[in-house]
């Protein structure tokens, strides 16, 4: 261990905490970095997500420019992995998708990615008939998807191989004495930040999904009422969904499951024969705007990076890069203050 290197703690081992750790290791020549969390891998919200790169309109940072930069930087991070020999191990895959609506033309558009992804175009009249019923509007686009079942273990292994440490522990407050040893703390606790920061703007947006075996499915589909069907690397597709504001239940609701199943099978009838392998529930950490900013808490230097709502997988890298930049500026000013 290099004792002259700054000591940094990252609270949280979901997609945001682990991606901050990864980017931090790439940006600092030397640092002693420890991830502290009470839940890992399949026990995190991140592991529930389908992980598709398609931001919703509610996703935003402090300004429109910041939001776009987060999206653009995230795209580059996932493209780097996608175009490497590690893509499959890391759970990153290329994907194309249809989005249809009977109600609203605007939901089929996406200004944050229309000029970023290789293809984003309105559908032809013939394509409106691909999924039966009378769709009025539609777009087709190419994107990427990151399955956290593979990405979290992969990036954690990479972090440890580069000298990172992991501690399994719950932190109840920033005044916890064990945090005093750190020069800098990144707060990537997702919904946990609600209690750590007394943040009333952070609200759970409950989601529920069904995992089905559908190795034949190669394209994602979106319909009205938050209906989506997203293929996965291992032949298991994710069917969703619901967005229940301020709802904390982690129990699988049979009524939600029935509604998701019916909506998805109407969108793609071939799914009726697919074997169901799991039902899952997760609480999206919804906050507008997503919080990426520094705070001095009783002498402790903290950089917050939480509140990514339904878009934390796709946008973890961009927000992480922003948080790391803030952290580096703090570390530089620490050094200046010591001179």
Ligand X SMILES: Cc1cc2nc3c(=O)[nH]c(=O)nc-3n(C[C@H](O)[C@H](O)[C@H](O)COP(=O)(O)OP(=O)(O)OC[C@H]3O[C@@H](n4cnc5c(N)ncnc54)[C@H](O)[C@@H]3O)c2cc1C
Q: Residues in the site for ligand X, rule: CB under 6 A?
A: 11-17, 36-39, 44-46, 48-52, 170-171, 188-192, 196, 207, 209, 240-241, 282, 284-285, 306, 308-314
In the complex, the smallest distance separating the C-beta of residue 24 from ligand X, rounded to whole angstroms, is 15
In the bound state with ligand X, the residue whose beta carbon lies nearer, of 138 and 309, is 309
Please state the closest distance from residue 135 (CB atom) to ligand X, in A.
22
Contact between residue 224 and residue 182 where contact means Cβ atoms under 8 Å apart = no
Coarse DSSP helix, strand, coil percentages of the chain, rounded to the nearest 5 percent: 35, 30, 35
Minimum Å distance from CB 228 to ligand X?
8
Nearer to ligand X, 46 or 139 (CB): 46
100 or 186: whose CB is closer to ligand X? 186
62 φ, ψ (degrees, to nearest 5): -65, -35
Shortest distance (Å) from residue 251 CB to ligand X: 14
Of 21, 151, 18, nearest in space to 88 by CA = 151
Cis peptide before 65 (omega within 30 of 0): no
CB atoms within 10 A of CB 73: 17
- Which C-beta is closer to ligand X: that of 5 or that of 294? 294
Decide whether 133 or 168 has the Cβ nearer to ligand X: 168
Cis peptide before 289 (omega within 30 of 0): yes
Q: Give least dist CB 86 to ligand X, A.
A: 20
For residue 107, give the DSSP letter.
G
Of 155 and 209, CB closest to ligand X: 209
Contacts for 256 with CB less than 8 Å, ≥ 6 apart? 208, 242
Least distance between ligand X and beta carbon 311 (Å): 4
Which residue, among 273, 248, 261, 243, has the nearest Cα to 49 in the 3D structure? 243
């Amino acid at each position: 261990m290099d004792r002259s290197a700054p000591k940094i703690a990252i609270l949280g081992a979901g997609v945001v905490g682990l991606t901050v750790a990864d980017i931090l290791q790439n940006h600092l020549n030397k640092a002693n970095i420890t991830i502290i969390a009470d839940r890992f891998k399949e026990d995190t919200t991140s592991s529930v997500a389908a992980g598709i790169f398609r931001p919703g309109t509610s996703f935003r940072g402090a300004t429109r420019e910041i939001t776009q930069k987060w999206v653009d930087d995230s795209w580059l991070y996932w493209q780097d992995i996608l175009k490497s020999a590690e893509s499959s191990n890391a759970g990153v895959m290329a994907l194309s998708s249809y989005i249809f609506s009977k109600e609203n033309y605007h939901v089929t558009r996406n200004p944050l990615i229309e000029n970023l992804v290789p293809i984003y175009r309105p559908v032809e009249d013939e394509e409106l008939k691909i999924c039966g019923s009378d769709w009025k509007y539609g777009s087709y686009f190419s994107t990427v998807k990151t399955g956290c079942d593979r990405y979290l273990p992969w990036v954690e292994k990479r972090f440890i191989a580069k000298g990172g440490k992991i501690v399994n522990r719950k932190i109840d407050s920033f005044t916890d004495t064990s945090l005093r040893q750190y020069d800098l703390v990144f707060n990537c606790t997702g919904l946990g930040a609600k209690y750590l920061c007394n943040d009333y703007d952070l609200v759970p947006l409950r989601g529920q999904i069904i995992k089905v075996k559908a190795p034949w499915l190669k394209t994602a589909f979106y319909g009205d009422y938050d209906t989506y069907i997203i293929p996965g690397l291992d032949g298991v597709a994710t069917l969703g969904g619901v967005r229940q504001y301020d709802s904390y239940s982690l129990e699988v609701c049979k009524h939600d499951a029935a509604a998701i199943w019916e909506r998805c099978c109407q969108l793609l009838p071939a799914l009726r024969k697919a074997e169901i392998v799991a039902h899952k529930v997760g609480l999206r950490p919804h906050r507008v705007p997503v919080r990426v900013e520094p705070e001095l808490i009783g002498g402790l230097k903290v950089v917050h990076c939480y509140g990514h709502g339904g878009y934390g997988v796709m946008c973890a890298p961009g927000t992480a890069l922003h948080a790391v930049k803030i952290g580096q500026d703090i570390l530089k000013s620490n050094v200046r203050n010591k001179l």
